[in-house]
């Protein structure tokens, strides 16, 4: 009796071993249509700030606001010889205080044609994501503004034609890339960039020079002021990176960002950025506005501390984020925990507090603090 | 007697560095593409698998693309010498990262996954041998490398590693890699198909790297640029 049992255990063990140590060649099969994406469900339990001017304006008499968001993001690439069709589509269902809204957005949908190893062209709706900043990108002239609270989220691009020249070299200059972008606007196309007819031409020169990422950007517009941008990023050590951006509107505003990323011996990643915009709101401007637009002040200081595998929990990450308005010293603080399960489900739970005087940006928000649960299933 | 031994050591070290380069060439051609599976096994027996596609050229260029699991799909890393970038589809642009940071969690760190040639990062400072194996004492060429010192045991017959012990600059053992299952992948590429990793910092954990396919292939230098980090999948077709 014991031998068959032993044989069964041995066979089971061998099967387990074979599974871990074998390689399924079917898993690397190449397909002409590839897709990925996620289904996400978010819920916010928000305590209300009864001293907020907005609370009084809306005549509220409750203490709590519930919001939920369900989102499906679908990315795909269709390959055909030297052509590719690339898309990212988002469907969102939002519910705030019981009133709901459906939003369907084409984030990206463009055709890519590789002319040669050095030349390529993209045509359609595309997110360029220029700049080296993590929370802010003052030099990303042809991108929609990023949300510093969720900088890693995908967002909508603009319709454009983009020619790319890319060349590698041996020596101190390792890579040169030139982007030429034509982006028209009208009442029907790219109208939140400029509401009327306009022609916008941008060029970006990128260099990997002495192990430093450098970019020089120029935006010409026949209806708005031209803009000039500069970005850089460099690893001073393998655990210490610095980056920055400068943007100047000719005869207009200027903005800049300076930041660094530092990884400590205990694998804590510290990401800090300072952002300044010459035409942002001052403390007095914010005081006199009931509901200032998010992140519209002159300057911010953002810190994020994240630790992978906290308390030895593999596939987990813990983070603390502080978004500080350096005009009125109000801030949003977030303490969060992320865990990715083996079935491609990721849970992000955070507790967030708005702090500051009730005349300040974060202090006058209608929400004083909130618990935020995000569950994302990747496919 | 001691000066004589030291003299002999100096004489043999250039050959030892040649030997290390031969080990590198046996592990992977100068320019190639490969598929490998990473399995992180936890103390309770549960596991997580990752599938990677990698393209390598010369001593200092490598791109990797995660094909599985779905939560990591589309993530790509680019290594160009000491420069390392990570591309996450949601973020949509490459971000500079540190070599010691972990992309997948568990025992592997970025350097293990995006390993360049040993001879690109290490020099042999001592070589010993017996009838079946060489024992090479390797020292990092600079402090940008994840492990300061390696003790590599090389099989004389196949000239491939059998074991690599990785130490920090404070002589602390960080992890040990065991190379197993010699297999022919392509003409001239006969190497261990399995690399098992254990670490005293992850007691009870085990990581396995299984090579599925290694193909010698020429790639243009432009493949290893930020412009193409989001397009690594195109190289597979």
Residue range B169-192, pLDDT digits in tens:
899 999 999 999 999 999 888 999
The answer to whether position B23 is within a domain reads: no
Full DSSP string of A44-105: EEEEE-TT-HHHHHTT---SEEEEEEEEEEEEEEEEETTEEEEEEEEEEEEEETTEEEEEEE
Mutation to test the A interface, candidates B71, B147, B221, most A Cβ within 10 Å: B71
Length of chain A: 379
Query: What is the distance between the alpha carbons of residues B39 and B25, in angstroms, rounded to a whole number?
Result: 25
pLDDT in tens, A246-302: 999 999 999 999 999 998 988 899 999 999 999 999 999 999 998 889 999 999 999
Query: What is the distance between the alpha carbons of residues B98 and B107, in angstroms, rounded to a whole number?
Result: 16
Q: Are A297 and A327 in contact (CB under 8 A)?
A: yes
Q: What is the DSSP letter of B16?
A: H
Q: Which two tokens stand for residue B45?
A: 């027996």
State whether A20 and B98 contact (CB < 8 Å).
no
Q: What is the DSSP letter of B99?
A: T
Q: What is the DSSP letter of B19?
A: H
Q: What is the DSSP letter of A234?
A: E
* Bridge partners for A96 per DSSP: A67, A99
pLDDT of residue A119: 98
Q: Are A323 and A354 in contact (CB under 8 A)?
A: no
Alpha helices in B116-197 (DSSP H): 118-121
The answer to whether position B60 is within a domain reads: yes
Query: What is the distance between the alpha carbons of residues B237 and B234, in angstroms, rounded to a whole number?
Result: 6
Query: What is the distance between the alpha carbons of residues B143 and B121, in angstroms, rounded to a whole number?
Result: 10
State whether A20 and B105 contact (CB < 8 Å).
no
State whether A25 and B213 contact (CB < 8 Å).
yes
Nearest residue to A156 via CA among A204, A191, A186: A191
Considering only residues 152 to 171 of chain B, which have any Cβ-Cβ distance to chain A shorter than 8 Å? none
Q: Is the ipTM of this complex over 0.85?
A: yes
Give first-to-last CA distance, chain A, whole Å.
Answer: 46
Query: What is the distance between the alpha carbons of residues B224 and B114, in angstroms, rounded to a whole number?
Result: 13
State whether B224 and A36 contact (CB < 8 Å).
no
Give the closest-approach CA distance of A123 to chain B in angstroms.
16
State whether B221 and A168 contact (CB < 8 Å).
yes
The answer to whether position B104 is within a domain reads: yes
- Give the total number of structural domains in chain B: 1
Give the closest-approach CA distance of B12 to chain A in angstroms.
32
A97 vs B: CB within 8 A = no
Residue A171 to residues A168, A175, A208, A209, A233: CA-CA distances in angstroms? 10, 10, 10, 9, 19
Question: Which residues contact residue A309 at a Cβ distance below 8 angstroms, ignoring those fewer than 6 apart?
Answer: A267, A315, A316, A317, B102, B105
Nearest residue to A119 via CA among A155, A144, A82: A82
The answer to whether position B179 is within a domain reads: yes
State whether B101 and A378 contact (CB < 8 Å).
no
A213 vs B: CB within 8 A = yes
Mean pLDDT over A333-338 rounds to 98
In the structure, what pLDDT confidence band is assigned to residue A9 with cuts at 50, 70 and 90? Answer: low
Residue B26 zone, left/alpha/beta (φ > 0; ψ -120 to 50; rest):
alpha
Task: Give the chain A residue nearest B90 (alpha carbons).
Answer: A154
Question: Which residues contact residue B87 at a Cβ distance below 8 angstroms, ignoring those fewer than 6 apart?
Answer: B75, B76, B77, B78, B93, B94, B95, B229, B230
pLDDT in tens, A52-84: 999 989 988 899 999 999 999 999 999 999 999
Q: How many CB atoms neighbour CB A31 within 10 A?
A: 12
State whether A168 and B220 contact (CB < 8 Å).
yes
Tell the burial category of B70 from Cβ atoms under 10 Å away from its Cβ (0-12, 13-18, 19+).
Answer: middle
Query: What is the distance between the alpha carbons of residues A299 and A361, in angstroms, rounded to a whole number?
Result: 12
pLDDT of residue B155: 95
* Domain interval for residue B104: 28-232
CA B27 to chain CA centroid, nearest Å: 9
Q: Are A145 and A129 in contact (CB under 8 A)?
A: no
Return mean pLDDT, chain B: 88
In the structure, what pLDDT confidence band is assigned to residue B17 with cuts at 50, 70 and 90? Answer: confident
Query: What is the distance between the alpha carbons of residues A378 and A295, in angstroms, rounded to a whole number?
Result: 30
Nearest residue to A307 via CA among A273, A281, A269, A345: A269
State whether A79 and B71 contact (CB < 8 Å).
no
Considering only residues 55 to 114 of chain B, which have any Cβ-Cβ distance to chain A shorter than 8 Å? 67-71, 73-74, 80-84, 88-93, 95-102, 105-106
pLDDT of B5 strictly over 80: no
pLDDT of residue B215: 95
What CATH number corresponds to the domain at position B142? Answer: 2.50.20.10
pLDDT of residue B15: 80
- Nearest CB neighbour to B70, from listed A27, A36, A166: A36
The answer to whether position B110 is within a domain reads: yes
Of the listed ranges B112-116, B148-152, B193-197, B207-211, the one predicted with least confidence:
B112-116
Share of chain A above pLDDT 70, in %: 95
Give the closest-approach CA distance of B126 to chain A in angstroms.
27
Nearest residue to A258 via CA among A236, A247, A274, A272: A274
CA B107, B113, B119, B122 torsion: positive or negative? negative
pLDDT of A32 strictly over 90: yes
The answer to whether position B158 is within a domain reads: yes
Query: What is the distance between the alpha carbons of residues A316 and B26, in angstroms, rounded to a whole number?
Result: 37
CB contacts of B35 in chain A (<8 Å) are: 23, 28
In the structure, what pLDDT confidence band is assigned to residue B12 with cuts at 50, 70 and 90? Answer: low
State whether A314 and B221 contact (CB < 8 Å).
no
State whether B237 and A79 contact (CB < 8 Å).
yes
Mutation to test the A interface, candidates B181, B210, B225, B226, most A Cβ within 10 Å: B225
Task: Give the chain A residue nearest B237 (alpha carbons).
Answer: A30
State whether B82 and A211 contact (CB < 8 Å).
yes
Query: What is the distance between the alpha carbons of residues A202 and A200, in angstroms, rounded to a whole number?
Result: 7
Full DSSP string of B39-97: EEE-TTS-EEEEEEEEEEETTTEEEEEEEESTTTTT-EEEEETTEEEEE-TTT-SEEE-
The answer to whether position B19 is within a domain reads: no
The answer to whether position B224 is within a domain reads: yes
Query: What is the distance between the alpha carbons of residues A279 and B227, in angstroms, rounded to a whole number?
Result: 33
Give residue for tokens 């990752």. B50
């Amino acid at each position: 009796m014991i031998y068959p049992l032993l044989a069964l255990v041995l066979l089971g063990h061998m099967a387990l071993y074979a599974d871990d140590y074998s390689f399924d060649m079917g898993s690397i099969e190449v397909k002409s249509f590839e897709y990925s994406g996620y289904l996400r469900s978010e819920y916010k339990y928000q305590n209300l700030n009864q001293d907020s001017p907005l609370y009084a304006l809306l005549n509220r008499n409750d203490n709590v606001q519930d919001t939920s968001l369900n989102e499906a993001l679908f990315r795909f690439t269709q390959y055909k010889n030297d052509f590719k069709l690339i898309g990212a589509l988002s469907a969102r269902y939002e519910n705030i205080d019981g009133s709901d809204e459906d939003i369907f957005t084409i984030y990206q949908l463009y055709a890519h044609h590789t002319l040669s190893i050095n030349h390529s062209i993209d045509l359609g709706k595309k997110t360029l994501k220029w700049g080296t900043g993590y929370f802010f990108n003052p030099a990303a002239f042809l991108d929609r503004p990023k949300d510093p609270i969720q900088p890693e989220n995908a967002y909508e691009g603009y319709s454009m034609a983009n020619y790319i020249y890319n060349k590698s070299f041996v020596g101190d200059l390792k890579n040169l890339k030139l982007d030429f972008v034509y982006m028209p606007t009208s009442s029907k196309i790219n109208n939140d960039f400029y509401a009327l007819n306009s022609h916008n031409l941008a060029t970006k020169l990128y260099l990997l020079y002495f192990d430093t990422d450098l970019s020089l950007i120029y935006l010409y517009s026949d209806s708005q002021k031209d803009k000039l941008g500069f970005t850089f990023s460099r690893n001073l050590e393998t655990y210490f990176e610095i980056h920055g951006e400068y943007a100047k509107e000719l005869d207009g505003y200027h903005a800049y960002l300076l930041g660094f990323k530092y990884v400590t011996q205990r694998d804590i990643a510290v990401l800090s950025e300072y952002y300044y915009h010459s035409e942002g709101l001052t403390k007095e401007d914010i005081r006199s506005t009931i509901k200032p637009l998010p992140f519209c002040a002159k300057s911010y200081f953002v810190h994020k501390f994240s630790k992978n595998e906290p308390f030895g929990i593999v596939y987990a990450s813990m983070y603390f984020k502080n978004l500080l308005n350096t005009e009125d010293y109000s801030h949003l603080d977030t303490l969060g925990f992320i865990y990715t399960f083996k079935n491609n489900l990721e849970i992000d739970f955070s507790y967030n507090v708005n702090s500051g005087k009730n005349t300040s940006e974060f202090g006058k928000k209608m929400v004083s603090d909130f618990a935020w649960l995000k569950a994302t299933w990747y496919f | 007697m001691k000066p004589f031994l030291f003299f002999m050591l100096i004489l043999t070290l250039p050959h030892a560095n040649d030997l290390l380069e031969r080990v590198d060439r046996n592990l992977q051609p100068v320019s190639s593409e490969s598929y490998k599976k990473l399995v992180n096994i936890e103390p309770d027996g549960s596991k997580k698998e990752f599938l990677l596609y990698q393209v390598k050229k010369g001593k200092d260029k490598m791109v990797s693309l995660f094909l599985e699991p779905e939560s990591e799909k589309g993530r790509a890393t680019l290594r160009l010498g000491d420069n390392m970038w990570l591309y996450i589809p949601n973020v949509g642009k490459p971000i500079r990262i540190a070599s010691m940071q972990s992309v997948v969690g568990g025992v592997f760190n970025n350097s293990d996954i995006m390993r360049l040639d040993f001879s690109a990062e290490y020099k042999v400072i001592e070589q010993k041998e017996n009838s079946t194996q060489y024992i090479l004492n390797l020292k990092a060429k600079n402090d940008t490398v994840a492990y300061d010192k390696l003790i590599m045991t090389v099989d004389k017959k196949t000239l491939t590693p059998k074991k690599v012990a990785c130490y920090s600059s404070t002589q602390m053992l960080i992890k040990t890699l065991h190379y197993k299952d010699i297999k022919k992948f392509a003409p001239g590429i006969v190497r261990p198909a399995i690399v098992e990793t254990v670490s005293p910092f992850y007691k009870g954990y085990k990581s396995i790297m299984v090579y599925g396919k290694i193909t010698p292939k020429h790639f243009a230098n432009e493949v290893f640029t930020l412009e193409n980090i989001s397009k690594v999948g195109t190289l597979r077709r």
